Amino acid sequence: MDTNFPAFSVSHNDFGQIQSVSAWRAGWLYEGEAVISEIWSPAFGAQLTGSASFRVVLLTAPARINSNDLSDNRIGVWNPVENVVHPSRARQAAAQGVREQAAIYRTASTASLDDLTRALDRRAAADDEIFAGYLQEAMGSGRFVSADSTVELESDAVFQSSKPAEWLTATGAALLDASYIN
């Protein structure tokens, strides 16, 4: 995918934060939004603003959501059938604590703190990959909710890839297709 956006992050630190993504439709690249969250927020179903052409929400815990919760046909929500817990939730908090302490006590000899921070960051990246696999597995049998009943997505087809960006591209393109065809 050729975009100017950073890669979609499944890091626990980015939960609840809307991230810029994109999807191709009919030869055009459309800007969109994606968010991963443990809980449903009505803000996720709110009207699209700015240059966003679609929004994809990935929930990590089952929620009661129906099409009436979504104010725009170009918003879609993937709802898992079971909880998906990020393996580094506690470790990321520890890494942030080390970073904060290192900033407070910044001296010439903080090499060991820097080494520890780098090790925690490497582990967090590995945990993000593990989590993406857990999420892929859970979403493979998940439920897709959209305000537009004509959007038909098979979860096992969308989540065939191990790359979250591809899930978002496939979902965004389907939302755009249904929106522009109807």
Q: Quick check: 66 pLDDT over 60?
A: yes
The answer as to whether 2 is a domain residue is no
The answer as to whether 107 is a domain residue is no
Give percent above pLDDT 70 in the chain: 82
pLDDT given for residue 152 in this prediction: 82
Span 137-155, average pLDDT: 87
Task: For residues 130 and 18, give the distance between their C-alpha atoms in angstroms, rounded to a whole number.
Answer: 22
Write out the residue range of the structural domain in which residue 152 sits. 12-85+138-181
Question: Are the CB atoms for 168 and 8 separated by under 8 Å?
Answer: yes
Q: Quick check: 1 pLDDT over 50?
A: no
Number of domains in the chain: 1
- Among all chains, which residue has been given the structure tokens 């939730």? 89
Tens-place pLDDT, residues 10-44 = 887 888 899 999 888 888 899 999 999 999 999 99
The answer as to whether 94 is a domain residue is no
The answer as to whether 101 is a domain residue is no
The answer as to whether 63 is a domain residue is yes
pLDDT given for residue 15 in this prediction: 87
- Among all chains, which residue has been given the structure tokens 């820097």? 114
Q: Of 104 and 91, which is predicted with more confidence?
A: 104
The answer as to whether 103 is a domain residue is no
DSSP state letters, 29-92: EEEEEEEEESS--GGGGSPP-TT---EEEEESS-----GGG-SSTTEEEEE-SS----TTHHHH
